[in-house]
């Protein structure tokens, strides 16, 4: 099933909400499919892709990239996963909603 996973930063639920559209099978992100999402980061909406290795990429080509363990996480409300923003800076996110693709954060 296609779904929009909506997550909030655990440290400050009003900052940096994240939404990503994924294919879910057996409670996990299915297969090697590319996923597309957006994060509200420092006041700007930043679209990204999430590849099969858990790399979040911003922009075309050699843009900024982060890492996440979302692909290994059980996709359900309440699940906590991490995003590695780089340079040893990690953020924990909590899935707060599973919705139809296109749903607003």
Domain residue ranges in the chain? 2-99
pTM for the whole structure: 0.89
- pLDDT, tens digit, 9 for 90 and up, residues 53-101: 999 999 876 678 999 999 999 999 999 999 999 888 999 999 999 998 8
- Ramachandran sector of residue 94 (left: φ over 0; alpha: ψ -120 to 50; beta: rest): beta
Q: Per-residue b/e over 85-104, b at no fewer than 16 CB within 10 Å?
A: beeeeebebebbebeeeeee
| Enclosing H/E stretch for 20 | strand 18-25
Q: What is the pLDDT of residue 44?
A: 86
């Amino acid at each position: 099933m296609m779904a929009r996973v909506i997550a909030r930063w655990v440290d400050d639920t009003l900052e940096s909400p994240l939404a990503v559209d994924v294919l879910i099978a057996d409670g996990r992100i299915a297969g090697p499919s590319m996923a597309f999402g957006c994060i509200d980061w420092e006041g700007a909406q930043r679209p990204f892709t999430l590849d099969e290795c858990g790399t979040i990429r911003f922009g075309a080509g050699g843009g900024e990239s982060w890492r996440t363990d979302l692909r290994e996480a059980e996709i359900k409300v309440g699940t906590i996963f991490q995003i590695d923003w780089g340079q040893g800076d990690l953020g924990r996110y909590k899935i707060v909603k599973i919705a139809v693709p296109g749903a607003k954060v």
